[in-house]
Every structure is written in structure tokens, then in C-alpha cells.
Amino acid sequence: MGSVNATAGTPGRARGVREVFGAVLDLMRVSRPYGTFLLLLPSLWTLVLAGSGRPPLSLLAIFVIGAFLMRSAGCILNDVADRRIDPLVARTRNRPLASGRLGLGTAFTACAVLVGLSALLIARLNGLTILLAALGLGWAALYPFTKRFVAIPQAFLGIAFGWGTFVAWAAVRNEVAVTPALLFAATICWAIAYDTIYAIQDVDDDRAIGVKSSAILFGSASWAWVTAFLLATCALLAAAASREGLGPVFYGALAVVTAYFVRQGLQVRGGLDREGAFRLFKAHVWVGFAVLVALWIDLRV
């Protein structure tokens, strides 16, 4: 009988492990990689520029894997910080911590593993890169708490996502320079714009529970602010490209991106429901890839 009971208990334990593993993957947003791409792309822009169109493949691999690991860790920290808020928001109430599918101990363990793996990735890079990456971890840890105190937490998201420009430049050239600073500023403007669009989904819930966001701050003028920040993004990208001597291929692509950004601003002005806001937000991933391809082609021709 003992062996029968042990055998019968095994499938239950296996299901339990699978459920915990699935909840951890949900916590990491593995099925929703948009944030990973938005974190990764400014670093890839920088690697391509710093490497004159031929960045080392080893660095590309480190930054791609690192973006996945750090964005996943950031999502865990965000959900830990918001575990009492998320149940009050329609879009987030089913997240693993908010719904009780996962405990805090497991979440912290997963986060520690992800951060540890990230540290191993950069351990062989130069000292400046390691220092900048460590500072970037601080920005990532700070961001989830800013929505309680800062009217535009999206700016801190931009800092956290844009910091990789300094890290990537240092990884290639072992220096801090003006070009990554311009890309950093561009990423901050870009993140404020696309995350304002994203925040439109939660305006009613956020206002009711007292969470701050740029969508609430800007209100009916959100479309004008979004457009202004998107145009500032393009201007800063153009300035970085000018410093690195890029030509008509990149500027032609940037002109198309600028026109698209103006169109997005007008769409925001026309009013967005939740599905429309999320659709416009996701489009920024493709815009980021378009900028990357344009940089690479221009530097290679």
C-alpha cells in the first residue's frame, strides 16, 4: 500500500511543480516580451553605433540574454511592490502574486537567480561596464516604487531602460561619451511617450486607488505631450547619428518614423480604448527594430 500511495502522490507533486513553474514564468512575463524588446533595443542601437556596424557577436549575445534576465527580474520586483495594488486593477488582478498563485519567498528566489545569472554574464567585461551595470540594477529596483511618489514614473522607466546605452558603449569602447548620453536621453523621451500610451489602459483604476502616472497628469493633453516626447526622441536620435557620421539611409528611415509618431499622436488625440492603447504601445517594438536596422544598414553601406 505504501508504494501505491507514493506512486499516486507523484502526479500531484508534479502538477504542483508545474503550476509553480508556470506561475514564475507568468511573473517574468515570458509570454509578453514587449518590455524585453523595449529594454534591449536602445542597447542594440548603441552596440551597433559603438561597433561601427560590426559589434562583437559575443557582446550581442550578452546583451540579448541580459535584457531578458533583467527585464524578468524587474517584472518580479514590480509585482512585489504592487502586490496589494494589482488586485484592485482589472488588467493586473490575475498576476501570480496578486491572485495568490505564488508566494513572496518564491518570487524573491526567482529574482535572486535572475540577477545572479546577469552578474555572471558581465563578469568578464571591463570594470567600467561592470560598474555601470551595477548602477543600472539600482535604477531597475527603484522604478517600481516611483508610481507612489512621482507624477511621471514613466521618466524613471526611461532611465532604467535607457541606462543600457552607457553600459553597451562602455562594453565596446571602455568609455562614457556624448553619443550614448544622447541615446539615453532619447530613450527617456521614448519611454515617457509609449508608457503614457500604455498607462491609458489603467487611468480609471489608477485614479481610483491613488497611483500616479503621466496619463493622469497629462489628462486631455496627453496626445500633445506624447507627440512632443516622440518628436524629441527623433531629434535626439538625429543628434546621435550626426555625431557618428550617419547618412541618408538612416535619416530617411528616421523621417518615416517621425511621420508615424505624429500619426500616433493624432490617434491618441482621437481617443483610445484599452485595446487601442495596447496596440499602439506594441507598435513601438517594431519602430525600435526599424531604427536598429536603419543604423546597421547605414553603417554597413
Would you state the pLDDT for residue 86? 87
In a domain, 64, yes or no: yes
In a domain, 7, yes or no: no
Model's pTM, two decimal places? Answer: 0.92
In a domain, 182, yes or no: yes
Closest CA to 230 of 288, 180, 165: 288
Q: How long a stretch of residues is the chain?
A: 301
Tell me the C-alpha distance between 214 and 203, whole Å. Answer: 10
Q: What is the pLDDT of residues 151-179, one digit of tens each?
A: 999 999 999 999 999 999 999 999 999 99
Range of the domain at 260: 32-300
In a domain, 26, yes or no: no
Sort residue 45 into left (φ over 0), alpha (ψ -120 to 50) or beta. alpha
In a domain, 15, yes or no: no
- Helix-then-strand count for the chain, H and E: 14, 0
Residue 138 amino acid letter: G
Residues 6 or more apart in contact with residue 268 via CB below 8 angstroms: 197, 200, 222, 223, 226, 227, 280
Would you state the pLDDT for residue 85? 87
Would you state the pLDDT for residue 10? 58
Would you state the pLDDT for residue 19? 86
CA dihedral 154, 159, 165, 171 (to 10 degrees): -140
Would you state the pLDDT for residue 70? 94
Domains in the chain: how many in total? 1
Would you state the pLDDT for residue 280? 96
In a domain, 136, yes or no: yes
Tell me the C-alpha distance between 42 and 96, whole Å. Answer: 29
Q: Please report where in the chains the cell 505631450 appears, as a residue.
A: 225
Give me the residues of the chain with pLDDT under 50, please. 1-8
Taking a C-beta distance cutoff of 8 angstroms, is the pair 243, 182 a contact?
yes
Would you state the pLDDT for residue 14? 62
In a domain, 123, yes or no: yes
CATH of the domain at 264: 1.10.357.140
DSSP, residue by residue, 180-195: HHHHHHHHHHHHHHHH
> Using the 8-state DSSP alphabet, how is residue 151 labeled?
S
In a domain, 88, yes or no: yes
